Amino acid sequence: MDPIDIPAIEQQARRLRAAEIRRLNGLFAERAQLMARLSAESLTAGTAIVSEALRPMFSWNPRPGTNSSANSIEPLLDRMNHAARALFSWNPQAR
């Protein structure tokens, strides 16, 4: 019967553990990068929506306007629908 080489077994176990830790770190880094990119895209879309919502408040135009669009709620609903689609339209499976 051959003697058991305990130091060699421990060394192999340490190598396997180090390889597994490197693999897990790579997975974590990949997912963190994906979440950061998706969050940045959502933040960019949100910033664009806020800028579009604030633009009418800071752009004064003295030409006569029509009251039909001022009394209608449809432009507001269209802007809200566009904002919701821009914020929630990313699909991580498609990338």
Residue 95 pLDDT > 50, yes or no? no
Going from the C-alpha of 68 to that of each of 16, 64, 71, the distances in angstroms are 72, 12, 5
Residue pLDDT, tens place only, 3-16: 889 999 999 999 99
Predicted confidence (pLDDT) per residue in 36-91, tens digit: 999 999 999 999 999 888 888 777 766 765 555 455 778 888 888 888 887 777 66
| Distance (Å, whole) CA 16 – CA 76 | 59
Q: Confirm whether pTM is higher than 0.75.
A: no
Q: How far apart are CA 43 and CA 53, in angstroms?
A: 15
Can you tell me whether residue 39 is helix, strand or coil? Answer: helix
CA dist 55 → 4, 48, 62 (Å): 77, 10, 15
